[in-house]
Structure 1
């Protein structure tokens, strides 16, 4: 996926200008319905990353479904950090990815550009889906797609997500942020280091993935929550994190509604994506430190 440096620069300048404006703004009264519901993740240790057993399992289940070893040949899961014991202080994190309705409150309050995109803008990103595929996800005149208010917001870049958390902080007085890879993984996976939020065996009935899902986003919170009460940590949409992958890239986590297998839906799996990328498979959730 290649885009011109000029496009990336424009996105960065727009987001930076918006953030400067937010810093100067006077905090407003928050509407509780606009604020993501959170759970507290207690202070303590957890197992982060994966070992060779987990990675081999991920490659094998991918191969069983796809009938080829593309993920193994590309070493998708070899970039995961080796499993290690990490201690984090307590924090609060959203139960679900940010929804279209929650993001719409931000758009309405600030006038920030909505997730709208022309055919040319989409094609310049060089992604596999054609423009017709993304039309159900497109906003119109600053409003989310009809009937998708409680679906995760998508077509948002990392800079867009950063602008949202800046606004959320101004609204509430809390220091909201995108979760780091560590904070995201502990919240989704729990302390014991299982392959999935529910255990070590993939179960396509426990998430929205390409295996048995509708090949689309769904309303958030439709499946059993993970160990700490988070929904949609596996499947549904990839989620932006604050963790850098390389210059201009951030890690996304969780897998999405079009993934099958589903090795990529494990909390330990990680992928770097350009910060300016706007994709129908990527959303985000938010957190704040105690």
Structure 2
């Protein structure tokens, strides 16, 4: 490269750098490389069912075998990675909407009813955006009503804007970030504590500002990985489906809030219980 060409490249970089810096990166937590325990065993699943029975007063999750698809407890090795400390917030996502004109989070009545979910359509309205803006007072809540493609598109946009590579975590990456390397059931240990997360056991039956439960942090300081919202991952769960992890604000028990728990959801669904966080590659 000639000196003249080098100066031109440098000038172009300096012109672009301020634009990239204008998009703040979400706070990150470092997850070290190495082995960790993933999945669950019979004893853990029985504890999860018992928690649900105590919370709900019935054994539906046991009868429907909610936790039988969890992989058996085993050791997995992963390289080091960085993951956002909390789910992506409405404020984070709002910068993407403003910059790209991507459709804002919402769902129409007919589509919602086609999902066949237990939540009435009226409940979605407090999460729906208006005129490209999140609901007032919810800027720091996790974004919901986003499909798997919406989450992926946001990651691609953030990659372009920051010059870093952002993507959804795999289910294994998400699980390590949530439980550490020792196979604990919840981010804080094996005993369920409703004061450490946003679930229907003690929460407001709604989303809350991200990071509201510092006592519920994982060993790596990752927040909101139990309760609050389920989170999209990059791991497929059949045709046009991906795994979601974490439990949500409307769950009780909370067996589904364990790090090992997870289930598949259709990629196109825009749910009031599902948001996402991202991994930033080196």
Per the TM alignment, residue 27 of structure 1 is displaced from its structure 2 partner at its CA by 9.4
Give the equivalent residue in structure 2 for 1:23: none
Aligned mate of 1:192, from 172, 175, 182 = 182
Which moved further from structure 2: 221-230 or 269-278?
221-230
Structure 1 equivalent of residue 35 of structure 2: 45
Given that 1:195 and 1:268 are in contact with CA atoms closer than 8 Å, whether structure 2 keeps it comes out as yes
Partner of 2:97: 107
Picking from 216, 227, 235, the partner of 1:235 is: 227
Is the 2:21–2:162 contact (alpha carbons within 8 Å) kept by the matching residues of 1?
Answer: no
**1:106 Cα offset (Å):** 0.4
Q: 1:77 aligns with which of 54, 67, 72?
A: 67
Equivalent runs, 1:1-290 vs 2, <5 Å: 29-31=19-21, 34-224=24-214, 225-290=217-282
Structure 2 CA distance, aligned partners of 1:282 and 1:176?
A: 19
The root-mean-square deviation of aligned C-alpha atoms, in Å, is: 1.4
- Classify the secondary structure of the residue corresponding to 1:30: helix
- Structure 2 Cα separation of the partners of residues 102 and 286 of structure 1: 12
Normalized against structure 2, the TM-score is what? 0.91
Determine if contact 1:47/1:191 at 8 Å carries over to the other structure.
Answer: yes
1:198–1:227: 8 Å Cα contact kept in structure 2?
A: yes
Please give the secondary structure, in 1, of the residue aligned with 2:67.
helix
Question: Which residue of structure 1 lines up, in the alignment, with residue 5 of structure 2?
Answer: none
Q: Distance in 2 between matches of 1:167 and 1:83?
A: 36
2:11 maps to: none
Deviations 1:197-245 (A, max 9, x none): 0110110000000000000000010112211011100000000000011
CA deviation after TM superposition for structure 1 residue 68, in Å: 1.6
Shift of 1:121: 2.8
What secondary structure, in the 3-state scheme, does the structure 2 residue paired with 1:124 have? helix
Please report how far the alpha carbon of residue 32 of structure 1 lies from its aligned counterpart in structure 2 after TM superposition: 5.6
- Tell me if the contact between 2:23 and 2:161 (Cα under 8 Å) persists in the aligned partners: no
Report the Cα offset of residue 182 of structure 1.
Answer: 0.6
| Inter-partner Cα distance in structure 1 for 2:22 and 2:191 | 38
Say which SS state the counterpart of residue 199 (structure 2) adopts: coil
Q: Which runs of 5+ in 1 are unaligned?
A: 1-25
Cα displacement string for residues 243-282 of structure 1 (whole angstroms, at most 9, x for unaligned residues): 0111111000000000000000001001100000000000
- Give the total of aligned pairs: 265
Structure 2: unaligned runs, 5 residues or longer: 1-15
Distance 1:45 1:184 in 2: 14
Q: 1:34 to 1:121 in 2, by over 3 A?
A: farther
